């Protein structure tokens, strides 16, 4: 097996789509953060420079991942999973400086990294490897449909990782990973009764977690009627609505948005889609939705044409890891889901997310090249 491959034919539409989103993200990060960065750090390019660094590094690593035989990751699945767990534990070590009440980042010489992003990629590779091994082994699909072999081990392993992410605390990230795991298990053939049963058993715990913290419960109440809480907990969502409403069809113009002027919190991260709606209008919103749909459709196609079960499950998980948070984020800022702390892939400010997503695309592209060249 050749580790580094040359003369491969990649999915050019997928490459172009991801580069457009990344470039658009750089523009929108500067548009949404320049004034805030100038006021907070005295440097309008503060967030742009970090996003440029992550984008540049990410594109290089994506190119490398495109040429690395994806089957190599099978040998690294367990070590990679252990690394992800170790980093998640490291974040919770006392002494790590919390950011806005959360301990989600490891910092080094002014640079920060969010281990949960790497842990998510590690979980996808582990699941793809383990599910493929069971599918290809004796008994095949029956092993995956067996509770003790095809469901319980994944429930335990993913439960530990989800629990560590929740303790940061990051309920949105934990729920996102839980849904991703369930999607991969469902696609692999796990009995629906097991998945539904786990969901039913988890529901009371989720309700308790939401009700036990005032800010989480306020998000639910606000989601049901944001205008009633427009001057309080509903402020962010109402400002998001105003941003979309102001944009109309064509938008008010790039850089001309007003909601980012200290009205809309997290305008350059969680709510960057709202500013896109304001500055680029319905045209910009539809463009972003179409670009993500292209990624999902191409990803599903790659999964269906993968030359191995591992490639199939890997492509499926990587596609879901991008598409799922993208549409959750867009639903949240439009008031279709309660507010969660999930960024919009490739577009929101956040070097860890951008770097890991570009690596994921690189791996996905290698699967596509081997699928179409077989």
Question: Which DSSP category does 71 fall into?
Answer: G
- Write down the pLDDT at residue 96: 57
Per-residue pLDDT for 138 more than 70? no
Read off the pLDDT of each residue in 121-150 and give the average, rounded to a whole number.
Answer: 88
Higher pLDDT, 122 or 136: 122
Q: Across residues 297-323, what is the average pLDDT?
A: 96
Residue 295: exposure state from Cβ atoms within 10 A (0-12, 13-18, ≥19): buried
Of 129, 132, 179, nearest to 158 (Cα)? 179
CA atoms within 13 A on the CB side of 46: 16
20-50: b (≥16 Cβ within 10 Å) or e: ebbebbbbbbbbbbbebbeeeeeeeebbbeb
The whole-number pLDDT of residue 373 equals 57
For residue 102, the SS3 value is: strand
Q: Mean of the pLDDT values across residues 5-9?
A: 74
- Residue 169 has what pLDDT? 84
The average pLDDT across 68-82 equals 95
Q: What percent of the chain has pLDDT over 90?
A: 72
How far is 152 from 156, CA to CA, in rounded Å? 6
Query: 């304001």: which residue's tokens?
Result: 278
pLDDT at 192 over 70: yes
Yes or no: say if 222 and 339 are a contact pair by the CB < 8 Å rule: yes
The answer to whether the CB of 91 falls within 8 A of the CB of 105 is: yes
Q: Are 234 and 221 in contact (CB under 8 A)?
A: no
- Determine the Cα–Cα distance for residues 39 and 33; give it in Å rounded to an integer: 10
Q: Is the dihedral of CA 45, 347, 168, 318 positive or negative?
A: negative
Euclidean distance between CA atoms 158 and 156, whole angstroms? 6
Task: Report the pLDDT value the prediction gives residue 6, as an integer from 0 to 100.
Answer: 67
Between 267 and 341, the higher pLDDT residue = 267
pLDDT value at 338 more than 80: yes
The pLDDT of residue 370? 81
Indicate the SS3 state at residue 365.
Answer: helix
Does 23 have pLDDT greater than 80?
A: yes
* Torsion sign across C-alpha atoms 239, 36, 277, 326: negative
Residue 321: its pLDDT value, please?
A: 97
Give the mean pLDDT of the chain. Answer: 91
Q: Considering only CA atoms, which of 188, 172, 64 is closest in space to residue 124?
A: 188
Which pLDDT belongs to residue 225?
Answer: 86
Residue 4 above 70 pLDDT? Answer: no
In this structure, how many other beta carbons lie within 10 angstroms of the beta carbon of residue 106?
16
Element (H, E) at 107: strand 106-108
- What pLDDT does 111 receive? 75
pLDDT band for position 340 (50/70/90)?
A: confident
Residues forming beta bridges with residue 102, ordered by sequence position: 99
Domain segments of the chain as ranges: 12-372
The pLDDT, as a whole number, for residue 304 is 94
pLDDT in tens, 212-250: 888 888 888 888 888 888 888 889 999 999 999 999 999
Contact 71, 310 (CB under 8 A): yes
Mean pLDDT (whole number) for 313-327: 97
| CA nearest to 362, candidates 82, 107, 47, 61 | 61
Tens digit of each residue's pLDDT (9 = 90 or more) over 86-98: 999 988 887 655 5
Is residue 28 very low, low, confident or very high in pLDDT (cuts 50, 70, 90)? very high
């Amino acid at each position: 097996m050749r580790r580094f491959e040359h003369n491969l034919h990649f999915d050019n539409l997928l490459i172009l789509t991801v580069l457009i989103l990344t470039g658009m993200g750089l523009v929108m990060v500067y548009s949404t953060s320049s004034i805030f960065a100038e006021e907070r750090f005295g440097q309008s390019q503060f967030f742009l420079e970090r996003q440029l660094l992550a984008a540049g590094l990410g594109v290089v690593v994506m190119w490398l991942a495109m040429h690395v035989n994806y089957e190599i990751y099978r040998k690294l699945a367990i070590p990679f999973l252990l690394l992800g767990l170790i980093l998640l534990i490291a974040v919770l070590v006392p002494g790590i400086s919390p950011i806005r009440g959360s301990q989600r980042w490891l910092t080094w010489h002014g640079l920060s990294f969010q281990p949960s992003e790497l842990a998510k990629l590690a979980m996808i590779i582990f699941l793809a490897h383990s599910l493929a091994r069971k599918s290809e082994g004796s008994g095949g699909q029956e092993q995956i449909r067996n509770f003790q072999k095809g469901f319980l081990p994944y429930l335990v392993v993913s439960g530990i990782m989800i629990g560590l992410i929740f303790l940061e605390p990051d309920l949105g990230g934990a729920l996102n990973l839980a849904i991703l795991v369930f999607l991969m298990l469902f696609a692999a053939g796990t009995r629906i009764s097991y998945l539904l049963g786990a969901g039913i058993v988890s529901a009371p715990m989720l309700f308790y977690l939401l009700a036990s913290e005032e800010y989480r419960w306020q998000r639910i109440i606000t989601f049901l009627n944001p205008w009633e809480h427009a001057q309080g907990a509903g402020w962010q969502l109402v400002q998001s609505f105003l941003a979309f409403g102001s944009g109309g069809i064509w938008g008010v113009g790039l850089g001309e948005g007003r909601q980012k002027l200290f009205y809309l919190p997290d305008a350059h991260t969680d709510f960057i889609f709202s500013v896109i709606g304001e500055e680029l209008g319905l045209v910009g919103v539809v463009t972003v939705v179409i670009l993500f749909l292209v990624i999902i459709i191409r990803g599903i196609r790659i999964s269906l044409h993968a030359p191995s079960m591992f490639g199939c499950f890997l492509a499926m998980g990587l596609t879901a890891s991008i598409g799922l948070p993208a549409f959750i984020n867009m639903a949240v800022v439009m008031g279709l889901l309660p507010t969660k702390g999930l960024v919009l892939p490739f577009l929101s400010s956040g070097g860890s997310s951008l770097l890991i997503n570009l690596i994921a695309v690189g791996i996905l592209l290698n699967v596509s090249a081997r699928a179409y060249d077989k």
